[in-house]
């Protein structure tokens, strides 16, 4: 390799900010989840004082991460951390609605413990909810790192900017994509391979609504693709598997993809 290339890498190293690694940032969030959901870990029971101490330590760690990121020079990172933990009980309540939705909707789910410990859908939703709380506080970089960590672990890609209501039920989940400006109501069910995405757009449209709105009580089956910021799926609708939608659907509609499948039996030779 040339000296010019080495010099280029050297200059980059001297200009890149010392942001904590993705693993460190993800570890903070997973430790937080283990505190609010002890089902995720095997540590012994803490006393009330120890629980208070651990949450205080997590708050200090979040402030340290925000300070180290340095992408927001004018932010009051201590206030952001304090506000996040003040709202944590409400965040926890919303996560519990997601557990309830999975337990009620999935015949295979035997207990809340099973959902918390093993369901990729709940992991992706809970990590999104933490990331979204930081996203709406204008925290840079960290929210996306958290949801991409969940994406790498579960195959479920939820942008932290999406607005998602309560009781979200994700079944299986692999291949689900939920774009930045997506709006999802309450009691929505999503199956694997669903894409809530944007039509082909230019970069200048970054601050416009590019992704669909899914109203309350909607079910979207596997492989469905719904695109566009003006696309609204009305309340109580059912979207069948492999449907491709770029236009709005009235409330209580059923939309399905009609395919033609032929089975040809081959006669066995004597």
Q: Which residues of the chain have pLDDT under 50?
A: none
Q: What is the pLDDT of residue 244?
A: 95
Q: What is the pLDDT of residue 206?
A: 67
* Beta-strand relationship, 189-191 and 219-220: parallel
Q: What is the pLDDT of residue 30?
A: 96
Question: Percent of the chain beyond pLDDT 70?
Answer: 94
- 251 contacts 237 by C-beta, under 8 angstroms: yes
Q: What is the pLDDT of residue 203?
A: 66
For 115-171, write each residue's pLDDT tens digit: 999 999 999 999 999 999 999 999 999 999 999 999 999 999 999 999 999 999 999
Cβ neighbours, 10 Å, residue 246? 12
Q: What is the pLDDT of residue 215?
A: 98
Rounded to 5°, angle at Cα 25 from 23 and 30: 85
């Amino acid at each position: 390799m040339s000296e010019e290339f080495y010099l280029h890498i050297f200059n980059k190293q001297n200009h890149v900010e010392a942001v904590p690694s993705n693993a460190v940032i993800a570890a903070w969030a997973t430790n937080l989840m283990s505190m609010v959901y002890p089902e995720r870990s095997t540590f012994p029971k803490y006393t009330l004082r120890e629980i208070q101490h651990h949450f205080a330590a997590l708050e200090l760690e979040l402030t340290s991460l925000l300070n180290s990121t340095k992408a927001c020079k004018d932010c009051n990172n201590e206030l952001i951390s304090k506000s996040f933990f003040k709202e944590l009980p409400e965040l926890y309540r919303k996560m519990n609605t997601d557990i309830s939705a999975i337990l009620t909707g999935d015949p295979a789910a035997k207990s809340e413990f099973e959902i918390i410990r093993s369901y990729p859908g709940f992991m992706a939703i809970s990590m999104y909810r933490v990331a979204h709380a930081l996203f709406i506080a204008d925290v840079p970089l960290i929210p996306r790192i958290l949801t991409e960590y969940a994406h790498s672990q579960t195959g479920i890609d939820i942008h932290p900017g999406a607005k998602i209501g309560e009781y979200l039920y994700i079944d299986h989940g692999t291949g689900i994509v939920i774009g930045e400006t997506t709006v999802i109501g309450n009691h929505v069910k999503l199956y694997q391979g669903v894409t809530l995405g944007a039509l082909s757009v230019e970069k200048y449209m970054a601050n416009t609504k590019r992704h669909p709105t899914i109203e309350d009580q909607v079910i979207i089956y596997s492989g469905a693709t719904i695109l566009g910021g003006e696309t609204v799926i009305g309340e109580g609708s059912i979207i069948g598997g492999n449907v491709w939608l770029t236009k709005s659907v009235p409330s209580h509609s059923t939309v399905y993809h009609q395919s033609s499948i032929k089975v040809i039996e081959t006669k066995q030779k004597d």
